[in-house]
Amino acid sequence: MKVALIGYGSSGRSTLYRAAARGLAKGDVTAVPVPDERFDQIVAQVKPKKQTPATVILHDDLDPIQGGGKAFSLKLIDSAKKAEILLHVVRGFESPVVPYFDTVDPVRDQDAIDVELVLADLQIVENRLERLKKSATLKTSGSPDYMENDLFTRIKEPLENGQAIRAMDLSEDDQAIVRNHQFLSAKPMVVAYNVSEAEAANPSDRLKKQIAELKERGTPAFTVCATIEEEIAELDPADQAEFLQDLGLTEPASARVIRATYDALGLITFFTAGENDTRAWALKKGSNALKAAATIHNDIAKGFIRAEIVHYEEYLAAGSLDAAYSAGKMTLEGKEYVMRDGDLIHIRNKS
């Protein structure tokens, strides 16, 4: 899961990156384990030779966005297209030593970047529609060019009116075309408002309203003080909880970033608990057991017979997989079983 951090220069983007990387950052790309107490509990009980948590890949290698109404650079657009999700870091702190292109206004800046994302996509749509006019199959119903022309004609006006593609009501066929073009405003977005220490736990009313409106539109958003979070990331885990409590916070930035990206991408986590390797896996919400098997390995999915399933809460109550099986909490499910967040799974397959 590639998470690309974007934002204006001096927004604190790299500081939040280092904080969310939990001290693991060695460069501008870092694989960060997903913090999950359930996985820790399973590992402690199973004691596997190897443990593999779910991870997200944080990328802080995009060019900073220039202020003053300047368009995105082509390099930034190309890099952002490769991401699965965008994490927009918005400056909300005053500083006499960190220069900025204008007055500090996080609501203005967040809206401005949204507009630029839409404009970048509108340019692609307009250019493509012009080229499609020369297509020999443009009027052939069902042809790729016909379908693309139909979609781009329909989304052009909403884009002109500032609507992001992710907010449009599109069919599965439409979505497939959109993915082929890697439109920026179609990508899931998470917004992190980088504010002062005081405002991190108690945002202004204006910012609270903006966060609520974004969440209504399906965009997770939260406030964070990146400098404090970087200090927290450098502490021993035993000292972090007390420091967070003193600041009025419930979790570090890494947990908030991960949970927000999971929410925006519509992901759940399932587990495999083996003595050789215990793993946490990310999976699209609503996926079935066959898809979970394919996530583990395509060969396992091909030979799928049945899935042995126990939910984490039932596993925890029983104390072990053997105890859950003896208590009748482990069920046999077919390919179409819809996976739940926290399921432990073992696939019976044709070897």
pLDDT digits (tens, 9 = 90+) for 155-190: 999 999 999 999 999 999 999 999 999 999 999 999
Residue 8 has pLDDT above 90, yes or no: yes
Mean pLDDT score, 214-239: 90
- Quick one: pLDDT at residue 243? 84
Mean pLDDT score, 232-247: 83
CB atoms within 10 A of CB 180: 10
Residue 297 has pLDDT above 70, yes or no: yes
Residue 14 has pLDDT above 90, yes or no: yes
Do 313 and 347 form a contact (C-beta atoms < 8 A)? no
Residue 69 has pLDDT above 80, yes or no: no
- Quick one: pLDDT at residue 209? 96
Instruction: Give the chain's domains with CATH numbers.
Output: 2-264 (3.40.50.300), 286-349 (3.10.20.30)
Tell me phi and psi for residue 268, to 5 degrees.
-125, 170
**What number of H helices and E strands is found in the chain?**
15, 12
Higher pLDDT, 244 or 103: 103
Do 293 and 333 form a contact (C-beta atoms < 8 A)? no
Mean pLDDT score, 47-73: 90
CA dist 120 and 115 (Å) reads: 9
Q: What is the pLDDT of residues 104-127, one digit of tens each?
A: 999 999 999 999 999 999 999 999
Mean pLDDT score, 59-68: 89
Mean pLDDT score, 76-95: 94
* Of 245, 248, 255, residue with least CA distance to 19: 255
Residue 309: pLDDT band with limits 50, 70, 90: very high
Would you list the DSSP string of 34-63? PP-HHHHHHHHHH--SEEE--EEEEE--SP
**N-to-C CA span, the chain:** 30
Mean pLDDT score, 236-253: 81
Residue 73 in tokens = 């650079």
Do 55 and 9 form a contact (C-beta atoms < 8 A)? no
Half-sphere exposure of 3 (CA within 13 A, CB side): 30
Residue 231 in tokens = 């200090």
Residue 67: pLDDT band with limits 50, 70, 90: confident
What contacts 213, CB < 8 A, 6 or more positions away?
A: none
* Residue found under tokens 């991960």: 258
What contacts 264, CB < 8 A, 6 or more positions away?
A: 85, 188, 189, 190, 218, 219, 220
3-class DSSP state of 280: strand
- Quick one: pLDDT at residue 52? 97
Residue 200: pLDDT band with limits 50, 70, 90: confident
- Quick one: pLDDT at residue 351? 67
Do 205 and 102 form a contact (C-beta atoms < 8 A)? no
Residue 82 has pLDDT above 80, yes or no: yes
* Of 241, 102, 134, 128, residue with least CA distance to 180: 128
- Quick one: pLDDT at residue 237? 78
CA dist 159 and 211 (Å) reads: 22
Mean pLDDT, all residues of the chain: 93
Higher pLDDT, 51 or 253: 51
Mean pLDDT score, 244-258: 81
Residue 23: pLDDT band with limits 50, 70, 90: confident
- Quick one: pLDDT at residue 311? 97
